[in-house]
Amino acid sequence: MDRRRRMHPATQEALNRREFLRRAAMAGIALPTAAAILAACSDPKEASGNAGSTTIPLARRDKPVTLPLYDDNPAIADGMEIEKGATLEIFNWSDYFYKKVLEDFEKEYDVTYNWTTFNNMSEAKQKMQAGQVADVFFPTVDVLGQMVGAKLLQPLNHSYIPNMEANVWPAYWDGDTPFYDQGWRYTAPYVIYTTGVGYRRDVISDEEAADQGYDLLWNADYAGKVGLYDDYRETLSMAMLRDGITDINTGDQATIDAALDSLKELIPLDVRTSINGTYVGLSEGKYDVHHAWSGDMIGAQYYLPSGTSTDVLGYWYPADHAGVVGNDTIVVPSSSEHPVLAHTFINFLLDKKHGYENFTWNGYQPPFTSINPESLISGGDVPKSLPLAVVTEEDFKAGYSILELAPDDDDKWQDAWDEFNTSTG
Query: Which lies closer to other proteins via its Cβ, residue 380 or residue 425?
Result: 425
Is residue 406 part of the contact set for other proteins (CB under 8 A)? Answer: no
Q: Which residues, including other chains, have CB under 8 Å from residue 304's CB and lie 6 or more apart?
A: 283, 310, 312, 313
Is residue 49 part of the contact set for other proteins (CB under 8 A)? Answer: yes
Is residue 221 part of the contact set for other proteins (CB under 8 A)? Answer: no
Is residue 285 part of the contact set for other proteins (CB under 8 A)? Answer: yes
Among 1, 10, 38, 40, contact with other proteins (rule: CB under 8 A)? 40
Is residue 93 part of the contact set for other proteins (CB under 8 A)? Answer: no
CB of 51 to other proteins, least distance (A): 5
**Contact map string, positions 119 to 158, toward other proteins, x by CB under 8 A:** xxxxx-xx--x-------------x--xx-xx--------
CB of 268 to other proteins, least distance (A): 9
Is residue 410 part of the contact set for other proteins (CB under 8 A)? Answer: yes
Among 215, 311, 394, 419, contact with other proteins (rule: CB under 8 A)? 419
Contact status, residue 367 vs residue 375, Cβ threshold 8 Å: no
CB of 230 to other proteins, least distance (A): 8
Is residue 278 part of the contact set for other proteins (CB under 8 A)? Answer: no
What per-residue string of b and e applies to 226-241 under the rule 16 or more CB within 10 Å gives b? bbbbbbbbbbbbbbbb
Q: How many angstroms separate the CA atoms of 336 and 331, rounded?
A: 10
Q: How many angstroms separate the CA atoms of 309 and 92, rounded?
A: 31
Query: Which lies closer to other proteins via its Cβ, residue 281 or residue 367?
Result: 281
Query: Which lies closer to other proteins via its Cβ, residue 271 or residue 346?
Result: 271
Taking alpha carbons only, the member of 234, 355, 358, 361 closest to residue 303 is 361
Q: How many angstroms separate the CA atoms of 240 and 263, rounded?
A: 10
Among 44, 79, 131, 244, contact with other proteins (rule: CB under 8 A)? 44
Is residue 409 part of the contact set for other proteins (CB under 8 A)? Answer: no
Query: Which lies closer to other proteins via its Cβ, residue 211 or residue 418?
Result: 418
Is residue 185 part of the contact set for other proteins (CB under 8 A)? Answer: no
Is residue 272 part of the contact set for other proteins (CB under 8 A)? Answer: yes
Query: Which lies closer to other proteins via its Cβ, residue 50 or residue 370?
Result: 50
Is residue 32 part of the contact set for other proteins (CB under 8 A)? Answer: no
Q: Which of residues 336-395 bind other proteins (CB under 8 A)?
A: none
Is residue 232 part of the contact set for other proteins (CB under 8 A)? Answer: yes
CB of 141 to other proteins, least distance (A): 15
CB of 148 to other proteins, least distance (A): 11
Q: Which of residues 287-316 bind other proteins (CB under 8 A)?
A: none
CB of 242 to other proteins, least distance (A): 18
Residues that bind other proteins (CB under 8 A): 40, 43-45, 48-54, 119-123, 125-126, 129, 143, 146-147, 149-150, 224-225, 227, 230, 232, 267, 270-274, 277, 284-286, 407, 410-411, 414, 418-425
